[in-house]
A and B are shown apart, each in its own frame.
Chain A
Amino acid sequence: MTSPRRLLAKTIPFLILVPVFGSLGNVLLGKGMRGMGGIQQWSLSTLAVYSLRVAANLWVWLGLGSLLAFFVSYLLILSWADYSYVLPVTATGYVLAPVLAHLLLGEIVPGSRWVGAAFIFLGVAVVGRTPPTTTGRD
């Protein structure tokens, strides 16, 4: 099993990569889907046409690429760190998402959402002080 110091050293870069790729992917997908408009009818033919339009959207593909990078980083860190550690500590993505949505999509973000984001960030800080793994498996 890897020593605690080495474990933390290899954990930290992934704690940055996971939320950055995840938030960027969500915002890019949001940009792509916003251009599509809402789904008005749920018939198979309408959904098929809608799916083709989504598949032809560059922003959707960029979002998917970013989410793929997120998923691989997420899998790797879960091979050694607790899920209950990774999940809250990568919550910085929830702070990044409103920031990116405001900057890239021009969304108006209410003040109470920023307060909520601050609570999330504080929670991340508390969990980040605990050891990455408690199960002792390698």
Chain B
Amino acid sequence: MRTFLLLAIIVLSGTGGDIAVTHAMKRIGEVKNFAPRALLGVLRRFVQSGWAWLGIGLMALAFFSLLAVLSWADVSFVVPATAANYIVGGLGAKFLLKERLSGARWAGMLLVAAGVALVCAAR
């Protein structure tokens, strides 16, 4: 039971963190220059963003939950099971980030979800 509770926390906070961080990076804009100085500039703008810190906080929650669950459960079960974030992430991308998700993207996400169901059934 505690394994599935922590998996839920990992998925929800991890996806929320991803969406907040994506929003922060979209506000910074497309990175075109990969020189170290330019990348440091991107990093500086990133750490000045409130969305970035919200995302990092949520990701940290997901990370420590992952760390805890890895101390008693198999990596080959835990890591694939957290792939449930594909469905949550797809919904977040559509409704929060306003991305246009085509039928192919949804089909791909459903295939991933089927994969997750199979992986979890092996528990």
Partners in one complex: yes
Classify the secondary structure of B's interface with A: helix
Give the interface size bracket for A toward B.
Answer: 35 or more
- Chain B residue with the shortest CB-CB distance to A121: B115
A134 to B101, CA, bound (A): 8
* Pairwise interchain contact A83-B79, C-beta atoms closer than 8 A: no
Given A39-B68, A135-B26, are A123 and B79 neighbors across the interface (CB < 8 Å)? no
* Pairwise interchain contact B28-A79, C-beta atoms closer than 8 A: yes
- Chain B residue with the shortest CB-CB distance to A88: B108
Contacts between the two chains (Cβ within 8 Å), count: 186
Classify the secondary structure of A's interface with B: helix
A124 to B72, CA, bound (A): 29
Q: Which residues of chain A in 83-105 are interfacial with respect to chain B, using CB atoms and an 8 Å cutoff?
A: 83-85, 87-88, 91, 93-94, 97-98, 101-102, 105
Q: How far is the CB of A13 from chain B (nearest CB, A)?
A: 10
Q: Which of A39, A117, A122, A130 touches B119 (beta carbons < 8 Å)?
A: A117
* Pairwise interchain contact A98-B105, C-beta atoms closer than 8 A: no
- Answer whether residue A76 sits at the interface, using C-beta atoms and an 8 A cutoff: yes
Q: Which residues of chain B in 3-21 are interfacial with respect to chain A, using CB atoms and an 8 Å cutoff?
A: 18-19, 21
* Pairwise interchain contact B26-A137, C-beta atoms closer than 8 A: yes
- Chain B residue with the shortest CB-CB distance to A86: B22
Further contacts, 4 of them, CB under 8 A, given A113-B80, A113-B118, A120-B112: A39-B72, A94-B80, A121-B115, A135-B97
- Residues of B at under 8 Å CB distance from A? 18-19, 21-22, 25-26, 28-32, 34, 39, 42, 46, 66-68, 70-72, 74-77, 79-80, 83, 85-86, 89-90, 92-94, 97-102, 104-105, 107-112, 114-119, 121-122
6 example contacts (A-B, Cβ-Cβ < 8 A) are as follows A79-B29, A80-B31, A88-B112, A120-B115, A123-B112, A126-B111
- Residues of A at under 8 Å CB distance from B? 1-2, 23, 26-27, 29-30, 33-34, 36-39, 54, 75-76, 78-80, 82-85, 87-88, 91, 93-94, 97-98, 101-102, 105, 107, 109-113, 115-130, 134-135, 137-138
